[in-house]
Amino acid sequence: MQFVTAQSTAEAARLLAESGGAARVLAGGTDLLVQMKSGMVEPATIIDIKKIPGMMEITEEDGGYRIGAGVPGQMLGEHAGVVALWPGVVEGCELIGSTQVQGRCTMVGNLCNASPAADSVPPMVAANAVARIEGPDGSRDVPVADIPAGPGKLNLKPGELITSIFLPARPKRASDAYLRFIPRTEMDIAVASAAVSLELAEDGSIAHARVALGAVGPKVALVEDAARAIEGTTLDDAALDALMAACRAACSPINDKRGTVEFRTQVAGVLAKRAALIAKDRAGEKQ
Amino acid sequence: MKKIHVTTKVNGDEVEFLCPPEETLLDALRDRLGFSGAKEGCGTGDCGACSVTLNGRLVCSCLVLGAEAEGAEISTVEGLAHGGELHPLQQSFIDNAALQCGICTPGILVAAKALLERNPDPSDSEIRYWLAGNLCRCTGYDKIIKAVKIAAAEMRGETA
Amino acid sequence: MVTVTLWGSLRDAAEGETEVTVEARNFKELLDALSARYPGLTPQIERGVSLALDGRIYREAWFTEIGPESEVVLMPYMKGG
Amino acid sequence: MNKITREKGQFKVVGTRVKRPDGIDKVTGRAQYGADLVVPGMLTGAILRSPHAHATINSIDTSEALALPGVKAVVTRADFAALDDDEMIDIADNCLARDKVLYHGHAVAGVAAKDAQTARKALKLIKVDYTPLPHVTDVDAAMKPGAPVVQSGRQEENVQPEHSENVTGYCEFGHGDVEAGFAKADHIIERDFKTAAAHQGYIEPHACLASMTNDGKADLWCCTQGQFNVRSLCSAILDMEASQLRVTASEIGGGFGGKTTVFIEPVALALSRKSGRPVKIVMTRDEVFRATGPTVSSSSTVKIGMTKDGRITAAHAKFRYQGGAFPCATYSFGAQAAFAAYDLEAVKSEGWNALTNRPKEAAYRAPGAPMAIYAVESVVDELTQHFGLDPLEVRLKNAARENTKAAYGPTFDQIGLVATLEAAQKHPHYSAPLGENQGRGVSCGFWFNFGGNTCVTMNLNDDGTVGITEGNPDIGGSRASISMMAAEELGIPYSDVRTIIADTSSLGHNDVTDGSRVTFAVGLATIEAARDAIRKMCGRVAKIWGIDEDAVIWEDGYAKPSGPNAGDFEPMSIKEIAAISSNTGGPIAGHYEVNADGAGVSFGVHLADVEVDPETGYTQVIRYTVFQDAGKAVHPDYVEGQMQGGAVQGIGWALNEEYIYGEDGVLQNAGFLDYRVPVASDLPEIDTVILEIPNPGHPYGVRGVGETSIVPPLAALSNAVSRAAGVRLHELPMSPPKILKAITDRG
């Protein structure tokens, strides 16, 4: 095994490509080191990307924010601009692991772990966040929703790595929220989760919404029917019922040690309802 | 397999060590440098017994590679007391019976210190959530939360 | 003579009784007398029994004296915790 | 029988909140735990474990592993001694499998190598040829005829023939005519319950360092609740003389009963013997969950009859426990403890143990009691709901008290249940208002408490301070409480006493730190050792003064003439006596050796408020109060700590902790991520109320306090959920999917 501190994305991409799949990118390490400990992966090369310029930075761009692949959750939570614009995304990131894990874990790592239960992914999908990918063939931008291919699988080509996430600008009366269900208050993997991002019209009704669910299918799902169910409404009871029904209809979870199909489906609806109400309150407060 | 030479600072002192690339910072601290105050309770970031700060951020040293410590500043439980004088958190843990077996104590002290540096007057709930990644199986946490509050008050110059 | 209360599942080994009377002045004599009179009790005695004497539990203590008026209850030997 | 010699109001040190002697070491990171010791030339040991839940071992080929550079020794079960005692064979077989692997994670071979990486590589080179066998992990399935047989030939003589061969033991306790009692009841409720296996969850994984030299002498350093027991077991398994094996207990990072036996220690010794080098083995967390000793899981049936005014007329319970792949007796503790809190005319309590393909259970805080009392307290509570009665009133009406014939046989001495129930009733918690979706639950708890083999030496130092040598690892602050009792008896300041824990070569045998025995039994022995030293000091002073020994008394750290008739002498302090001890006959020490009895049972009552989210089934504990009889609280902070810690372990067991096995017999949650122990943010303050109903069996009235507190939370939370959510669960843990399903099914 070798450990390399990459100095540029080009170097990291080259090392990844040369390794033939035997290299792993190290940012926060909070998934990678656990996998190494259990013997699940035995990488030939570990490529630390945190010293690459820009990786540890949050920069304003076109009214939105670009977040480097090495930025830990805690740093994101400390950034007043991101917190104001995308509180639901920050919420999701800050729910990854403990305070200790918060000091290291990254949104990109959470995305690349390709777990349907990843906490930062539903809010990124709801936010229509875009991942910047660098690889042997240069750079490309791909919506976060299109990155996961299934549990543990990514739509990345050999040698490609995600270097940043872009959270776009949004109208003034807009906000988002993320909720997950876990059996304790902290330290668990989401059993079901929901992120809702919405924009309010002048009359306070919902002009546009995006709803994403986690841990209820092979990958985080954007639920268009759920968004349609609340657009044009003020989240009256009928709209919320329709939202819950649409979310539940979109669920295709599994039974496992963390939850049952029945439970995940039922709770995903409840979380979407609650997240929608929080997002609407937040958007409304930004008069 | 070649070992990596790492130069780093632990509790203000510059140190060097050699470690294999896959070795964790926890193992490097314990086995190479003799800082055995950090404990391995799980090795997967779920118990917090190995908590240290790395460049000012609280981390599980079991989820950091030793090689990543190059050029970093690390603080461990061994650096809390100054000379013969205990840190107010250490004293408060003794005075308020906030430890039983003591295996989680180093990690909790390091984590609590990191909290009080960010928030000198945390509420019970803030302490509980901040310390959620530090498992304690003996105390039920009650006396730990009280000890942190009392130490915080003392550090703010209030008499508890 | 002392009257010893056995626990229910020892009944079959003691001719269907859960209260038996034997001659004994201490714990050791009691165990020997029980074993001699009810050989079916021997496996359990060998696995370990405690003695509750007037409400106090003695785990081993062969020479604990038993008075004729004492309440004597046999219990399984306990450990762990 | 009453041997209390010091009562309320007479204590100077006992009952104060002094600082623990191990405090500074533990807050500075200096305290040395199992994995912290390093010695020159040390090798790293690792253990190969079974990938099967149940399989025959056809052969083990270690040659490739041995050929790997850096590998210094490989051991298998064949490296252990031939044993003839069944219990000892079981322990050895659990440390390294013999003919079969009996559970996933069962140890098969050990390796010692120059470093951890090499050891791990070597494990992969050991070739084990297995024939997988059918397995069983559920207790009810294991008891059924035709179930896969875990071990044959292990049934005790009184097991009914209708069960499978896995059923190893049966017991029955109780008295009175149960059928006649049920006939008198106005209402009878009978329910089936299940509880999952829980792990003690100590944060420190098992660790040891063994060093054997080729003359057969060995030193073993390990985290254990009983170094003497480790010596007994290891010396038998390694065929050593006890004198040649010195075991030193490290600081211990939690045990709760789980460190009362051996797992890796005999393997480390065997590896050291073979390699000629010191060998350290440290378990991973995964290994701790898979292959140490969680508690039993249970299935039970409880039937209770009650009159409409709340008097229990009869009770009958059946407890079926599985304790893993080797026989255990925990079922009988459960069956005995089940009805301890009640004064019953007719009661029958039965228990069975079944073998399964799971790790052998080890003790866990009040072993066997929580799951039995959970079932009983749930049915009692449902009856109070049925009749619309107050749960504490009903418990008081039926409460065991002095002279009650306990369901497990004996007649109770002075006990604290009624006082504890009354304290709960009067506490503001019990009458505090509750909000929507909130409910309050009550449960009693009980543990027997043990005494056991104990010896203590007290040495008077030449400056008049005192050293205590005792033989029980300190898992809850016992060094402080023992020093306090010594100071109390001698009449000297706490700061003049230092208590240390001896290795096995420095003191006679002491039983394991279990059964909440240490503060009681070691405390008792310490007080008696102090009295022995006092007698000797008075004897020396009598010689100096030229009067009879009887004419010298001991008071507040001074030898004094017993009265005017004894003579007019200036009292002599312990320091003065110590200073001239070489002139008066040499060093002064006190000793006491005893197999202590009279531990005094312990009762507790818990009040729990919960709020249940009706849309998700999530349960939040919002208020919690523990009431417990401590006899005499030697160090109130540490008594509270035991009450709080036990309560929180019980809360975890009630809500989320469980061993989850797949169809393949593999444990699915062998880590703290999915074995969900409570975290700080899950909990409210745990309020405590200590009651002191002195134990007549201890000079200061002390009772053990360590275990009772884990018992009540299981039913207290279930009873609270029942009142908050309107659904009663009969299975633990009450994880959110189960609660939500119950709410949904109710409609």
- Identify the CATH number of the domain in which residue A272 sits: 3.30.390.50
Whether C and B touch, i.e. at least 3 CB pairs below 8 A, reads as no
| Nearest residue of chain B to residue D39 (CA atoms) | B31
What is the architecture, at CATH level 2, of domain B88-155?
Orthogonal Bundle (1.10)
- Rounded to the nearest angstrom, the minimum Cα separation between B142 and chain A is 16
Mutate to test the interface with A, among D673, D677, D683 (most CBs of A within 10 A): D673
Q: Are residues A194 and A229 in the same domain?
A: yes
Position C78 scores a pLDDT of 79
Residues in chain B within 8 Å Cβ distance of A97:
45, 133
Residue D116 in this model has a pLDDT that exceeds 60: yes
State how far the Cα of D280 lies from the Cα of D261, in Å rounded to an integer: 18
Residues in chain A within 8 Å Cβ distance of D679:
184-187
Q: Are residues A58 and A155 in the same domain?
A: yes
Q: Are residues A139 and A205 in the same domain?
A: no
Interchain CB contact of B26 with D (< 8 Å): no
Q: Are residues A34 and A139 in the same domain?
A: yes
Is residue D265 a contact partner of residue D220, using CB atoms and an 8 Å limit? yes
Residues in chain A within 8 Å Cβ distance of B25:
none
Q: E strand or H helix at D732, and its extent?
A: strand D731-732
Amino acid at D719: N
Query: Mean pLDDT, to the nearest integer, of C16-45?
Result: 94
Domain contains A80: yes
Domain contains A185: yes
State how far the Cα of D330 lies from the Cα of D338, in Å rounded to an integer: 12
Q: Are residues A159 and A245 in the same domain?
A: no
Q: Are residues A22 and A91 in the same domain?
A: yes
Domain ranges of chain B: 4-79, 88-155
| Nearest residue of chain A to residue B130 (CA atoms) | A99
State how far the Cα of D182 lies from the Cα of D166, in Å rounded to an integer: 32
What is the CATH classification number for the domain harbouring A57? 3.30.465.10
Is residue D600 a contact partner of residue D449, using CB atoms and an 8 Å limit? yes
Q: Do B4-79 and B88-155 fold alike per CATH?
A: no
Interface of A with B (CB under 8 A): 1-3, 5, 26, 28-30, 33-34, 36-38, 46, 48, 50, 72, 74, 97-101, 103-104, 185-187
Interchain CB contact of B42 with A (< 8 Å): no
Position B83 scores a pLDDT of 87
Interchain CB contact of B106 with D (< 8 Å): yes
Residue D9 in this model has a pLDDT that exceeds 90: no
Residues in chain D within 8 Å Cβ distance of A262:
737, 741, 744
Query: Mean pLDDT, to the nearest integer, of D148-168?
Result: 96
List, in sequence order, the alpha helices (H) in C1-81.
Answer: 27-37, 42-47
State how far the Cα of A51 lies from the Cα of A107, in Å rounded to an integer: 17
Q: Among residues 113-152 of chain B, which lie with CB inside 8 Å of chain D?
A: 124-125, 127-129, 131-145
Q: E strand or H helix at D26, and its extent?
A: helix D23-28
Q: Do A270 and D615 touch (CB under 8 A)?
A: yes
Q: List, for residues D495-520, the tens digit of each pLDDT value.
A: 999 999 999 999 999 999 998 999 99
Q: Which two tokens stand for residue C17?
A: 């009784």
Confidence of residue C80 (pLDDT cuts 50, 70, 90): low
Q: How many residues does chain A have?
A: 287
Q: Do A98 and B48 touch (CB under 8 A)?
A: yes
Interchain CB contact of B68 with D (< 8 Å): no
Beta-bridged to residue A21, according to DSSP, are none
Residues in chain A within 8 Å Cβ distance of D744:
262, 266
State how far the Cα of D71 lies from the Cα of D54, in Å rounded to an integer: 29
Is residue A282 a contact partner of residue A230, using CB atoms and an 8 Å limit? no
Q: List, for residues A37-85, the tens digit of each pLDDT value.
A: 998 999 999 999 999 999 999 999 999 999 999 999 999 999 999 999 9
Q: List, for residues C8-21, the tens digit of each pLDDT value.
A: 999 999 999 999 99
Whether D and B touch, i.e. at least 3 CB pairs below 8 A, reads as yes
Q: Are residues A145 and A210 in the same domain?
A: no
**Count of domains forming chain A:** 2
Q: Do A181 and D655 touch (CB under 8 A)?
A: no
> What's the topology of domain D451-596?
Aldehyde Oxidoreductase; domain 4 (3.30.365)
The CA-CA-CA angle for residues D419, D422, D427, to 5°, reads 125
Residue D731: Cβ-neighbour burial (10 angstroms; 0-12, 13-18, 19+)? middle
Residues in chain D within 8 Å Cβ distance of B20:
117
Q: Are residues A100 and A214 in the same domain?
A: no
Residue D199 in this model has a pLDDT that exceeds 60: yes
Query: Mean pLDDT, to the nearest integer, of D99-117?
Result: 97
| Percentage of chain D lying above the pLDDT 90 cut | 97
| Nearest residue of chain C to residue D160 (CA atoms) | C9
Mean predicted lDDT score pLDDT of chain D: 97
Helix (H, G, I), strand (E, B) or coil at B132: helix
Residues in chain D within 8 Å Cβ distance of A185:
679, 681-682
- The number of helices, as runs of H, and strands, as runs of E, in chain B is 5, 5
Q: List, for residues B76-96, the tens digit of each pLDDT value.
A: 999 999 988 999 999 999 999
Q: List, for residues A82-126, the tens digit of each pLDDT value.
A: 999 999 999 999 999 999 999 999 999 999 999 999 999 999 999
Q: List, for residues A119-150, the tens digit of each pLDDT value.
A: 999 999 999 999 999 999 899 999 999 999 99
Residue B1 in this model has a pLDDT that exceeds 70: no
Report the residue from D336, D348, D697 with minimal CB separation from C56. Answer: D697
Q: Do B60 and A185 touch (CB under 8 A)?
A: no
Is residue D654 a contact partner of residue D733, using CB atoms and an 8 Å limit? yes
Query: Mean pLDDT, to the nearest integer, of D121-145?
Result: 98
State how far the Cα of D203 lies from the Cα of D147, in Å rounded to an integer: 36
Query: Mean pLDDT, to the nearest integer, of D81-91?
Result: 95
Helix (H, G, I), strand (E, B) or coil at D48: strand
Output Rg (C-alpha) for chain C, integer angstroms: 12
| Nearest residue of chain D to residue A39 (CA atoms) | D120
Q: Are residues A162 and A185 in the same domain?
A: no
State how far the Cα of D577 lies from the Cα of D464, in Å rounded to an integer: 7
From the list D743, D668, D660, D615, the residue with the least C-alpha distance to A194 is D615
Residues in chain D within 8 Å Cβ distance of C52:
409-410
Query: How many Cα atoms within 13 Å fall on the side-chain side of residue D406?
Result: 32
Q: List, for residues D606-627, the tens digit of each pLDDT value.
A: 999 999 999 999 999 999 999 9
Q: Do D615 and A267 touch (CB under 8 A)?
A: yes
Q: Do C76 and D329 touch (CB under 8 A)?
A: yes
Query: Mean pLDDT, to the nearest integer, of D430-452?
Result: 96
User: Partners for D (CB, 8 Å, 3+ pairs)?
Assistant: A, B, C
Residue-range domains of chain C with CATH: 2-76 (3.10.20.30)
Q: Among residues 93-122 of chain B, which lie with CB inside 8 Å of chain A?
A: 111, 114-115
Report the residue from A34, A103, A185 with minimal CB separation from B57. Answer: A103
| Percentage of chain A lying above the pLDDT 70 cut | 100
From the list B76, B80, B98, the residue with the least C-alpha distance to B88 is B80
Q: Are residues A159 and A178 in the same domain?
A: no
Residue D489 in this model has a pLDDT that exceeds 80: yes
Residues in chain A within 8 Å Cβ distance of B130:
99
- Rounded to the nearest angstrom, the minimum Cα separation between D398 and chain A is 36
- Rounded to the nearest angstrom, the minimum Cα separation between A38 and chain D is 9
| Percentage of chain A lying above the pLDDT 90 cut | 97
Residue D160 in this model has a pLDDT that exceeds 80: yes
Tell the residue number behind the tokens 């309320």, with chain if given: D8
Q: Do D676 and A257 touch (CB under 8 A)?
A: no
Q: List, for residues D662-718, the tens digit of each pLDDT value.
A: 999 999 999 999 999 999 999 999 999 999 999 999 999 999 999 999 999 999 999
Q: Do A33 and B62 touch (CB under 8 A)?
A: yes
Report the residue from A184, A258, A270 with minimal CB separation from D616. Answer: A270
State how far the Cα of D31 lies from the Cα of D12, in Å rounded to an integer: 30
Beta-bridged to residue D688, according to DSSP, are D626
| Nearest residue of chain B to residue A30 (CA atoms) | B63
Mutate to test the interface with D, among B3, B50, B101 (most CBs of D within 10 A): B101
- The answer for residues whose C-beta is within 8 angstroms of residue B118's C-beta and 6 or more apart is none
**DSSP 8-state symbol, D668:** S
State how far the Cα of D358 lies from the Cα of D294, in Å rounded to an integer: 9
State how far the Cα of C76 lies from the Cα of C74, in Å rounded to an integer: 7
Q: Which domain holds residue A238?
A: 174-285
Residues in chain B within 8 Å Cβ distance of D673:
44, 46
Residue A172: Cβ-neighbour burial (10 angstroms; 0-12, 13-18, 19+)? exposed
- Rounded to the nearest angstrom, the minimum Cα separation between C9 and chain D is 5
Q: List, for residues D548-600, the tens digit of each pLDDT value.
A: 999 999 999 999 999 888 889 999 999 999 999 999 999 999 999 999 988 88
From the list A42, A35, A45, A36, the residue with the least C-alpha distance to A2 is A45
Mutate to test the interface with C, among D450, D511, D601, D698 (most CBs of C within 10 A): D450
Supply the CATH classification number for the domain B4-79.
3.10.20.30
Q: What CATH class has D34-134+200-291?
A: alpha beta
Position B91 scores a pLDDT of 98
| Nearest residue of chain B to residue D256 (CA atoms) | B138
- What are the residue ranges of CATH 3.30.365.10 in chain D? 424-443+600-747, 451-596
Q: Are residues A26 and A105 in the same domain?
A: yes
Q: How far is CA D500 from CA A79, B98, D133, D275, D513, in A?
A: 52, 21, 49, 33, 15
Residue D1 in this model has a pLDDT that exceeds 50: no
Domain contains A121: no
Residues in chain C within 8 Å Cβ distance of D257:
80-81
Report the residue from A34, A74, A185 with minimal CB separation from B45. Answer: A34
Whole-model pTM? Answer: 0.97
Output Rg (C-alpha) for chain D, integer angstroms: 27
Domain contains A125: no
Residues in chain B within 8 Å Cβ distance of D681:
125, 128-129, 131-132
Position A285 scores a pLDDT of 86
Residues in chain B within 8 Å Cβ distance of A46:
21-22, 65
CATH of D424-443+600-747 given 3.40.50.12280, 3.30.365.10, 3.40.50.1820, 1.10.3720.10: 3.30.365.10
Report the residue from A181, A187, A266 with minimal CB separation from D679. Answer: A187
Domain contains A139: yes
- Rounded to the nearest angstrom, the minimum Cα separation between B70 and chain D is 22
- Rounded to the nearest angstrom, the minimum Cα separation between D201 and chain A is 16
Report the DSSP pairing between strands D218-222 and D297-306.
unpaired
State how far the Cα of D194 lies from the Cα of D714, in Å rounded to an integer: 12
Q: Are residues A252 and A190 in the same domain?
A: yes
From the list B149, B135, B125, B131, the residue with the least C-alpha distance to B101 is B135
